[in-house]
Structure 1
Amino acid sequence: MRPTLLAASLLLLAGTSHAADISVVGLFPNKAVLVVDDAPPKTYSVGAAITEGIRLVSADNTSATIETNGKRQIIALGEHVSRSNAGSGRASVALQADGQGHYVVQGQINGGTARMLLDTGATMIALPASDATRLGVDYKKGRVAYVNTANGVVPAYHVKLDTVKVGDIEINQVDAVVQEQGLPFILLGMSFLNRTEMRRDGQQMVLTKRF
């Protein structure tokens, strides 16, 4: 079976002084091919130690999950994650634009995996009803609102998400809307982004948690 090739890398802290630069160059079920600090590529099985304080906890054909000092991070295609913001100690994540200039992130909502499109034009996080149900969001208990879409004004449900996590940034009690029609994927909107500092550098977007 051929591995899925990725152009993703992750900067991790092992302890407080040593930074390990880890790149994911291939994926198998329960295995990942990693380059650590410019060493030759090496295949790691789930559960294996990558370097001091860092281990591989899961891998499939689309992503690998790394654990550092008890904190877990999903690495998806084209995503670069910095687990520390030098000099500030605040959580940050660096996102790489895709070929169309979009930032697609692999994160978590209420503890469940969620693939989201960063959208600064969206007032709140917006979820299709199918994703909300999968993530355990009882949206029918939310307040009914109306949103403008390409197909006109459609009803939506205003809800609070318990947690939203992107990289090391985890934010609690985030406003969101759930739509039963007209939305093909999750939008990571300003109800999350307003609680971060956003800095764009070329094709890279760096988010740093504010509060």
Structure 2
Amino acid sequence: MIFPKYVSLFLPLALLACSPAPTKSLVVSADPHLGVYFVDGSVNNKPVTFLVDTGATMLNLPISSAKSMGITIPKSYQLATLSDGSAIQTYSVDIKKLKVGDCTLDNVPATFTDTSSPYALFGESVIKKVSLVVANEQMKISCKG
């Protein structure tokens, strides 16, 4: 789902941990060609580019990136249905540390999938833990302490 031109979402902060210093917001502009928002952050201190996807239930990362993030993929998997009706194997993991802007999130539920996309999907399992405001083709992400 792509954000309308003016949207304001204030979502619950369950399990959110921010540094005690006053927080700053991360402001990003919509990609001029795709109309979506890309956000740089990190997973377990490894750099990651996230694609903000309000239609994604979970934080989702390419399985090929797991090893570099120090994550062991479990042997068991679940089948998830994609928006086009196809099914894909997903491996559930808790991310020890996810950072976006000044927000640090601990033990974030995530899934890993075998995908060719170079981007991690910044889905609802993360979105519900931060404050997102979208206006004038800019997205502001901030945490509350």
Under TM normalisation by the shorter chain, which class is it? 0.7 to 0.9
Q: CA deviation at 1:205?
A: 0.7
Q: Secondary structure at the match of 2:121?
A: strand
Relative distance call for 1:188 and 1:173 in structure 2 (3 A) is same
Distance 1:210 1:194 in 2: 12
1:1-211 paired onto structure 2 within 5 Å: 89-99=22-32, 100-140=34-74, 144-149=77-82, 150=84, 152-181=86-115, 183-210=117-144
With the length of structure 1 as denominator, give the TM-score of the two structures: 0.53
Distance 1:192 1:210 in 2: 14
What amino acid is the match of 2:89?
P
Contact 1:154 1:181 in 2 (8 A): no
Consecutive unaligned residues in structure 1, runs of 5 or more: 1-87
Contact 1:118 1:189 in 2 (8 A): yes
With the length of structure 2 as denominator, give the TM-score of the two structures: 0.75
Q: CA deviation at 1:203?
A: 0.9
What amino acid is the match of 1:111?
N
Cα deviation code 1:96-155 (max 9, x no counterpart): 1111211111110011011110111111100111012221211225x5222123471111
Relative distance call for 1:204 and 1:179 in structure 2 (3 A) is same
Distance 1:192 1:198 in 2: 11
Distance 2:70 2:139 in 1: 29
| Structure with higher strand content | 1
> How large is the Cα RMSD of the aligned pairs?
2.1
The structure number with the bigger radius of gyration is 1
Contact 1:195 1:210 in 2 (8 A): no
Consecutive unaligned residues in structure 2, runs of 5 or more: 1-20
Relative distance call for 1:183 and 1:145 in structure 2 (3 A) is farther
Relative distance call for 1:151 and 1:185 in structure 2 (3 A) is farther
Distance 1:137 1:103 in 2: 26
Q: Secondary structure at the match of 2:66?
A: helix
Q: Secondary structure at the match of 1:139?
A: coil
Distance 1:130 1:114 in 2: 13
Distance 1:158 1:195 in 2: 18
Q: CA deviation at 1:183?
A: 4.8
Distance 1:184 1:90 in 2: 29
Identity rate, percent: 28
Q: CA deviation at 1:172?
A: 0.7
Q: Which has the higher contact order (CA 8 A, sep 6+)?
A: 2
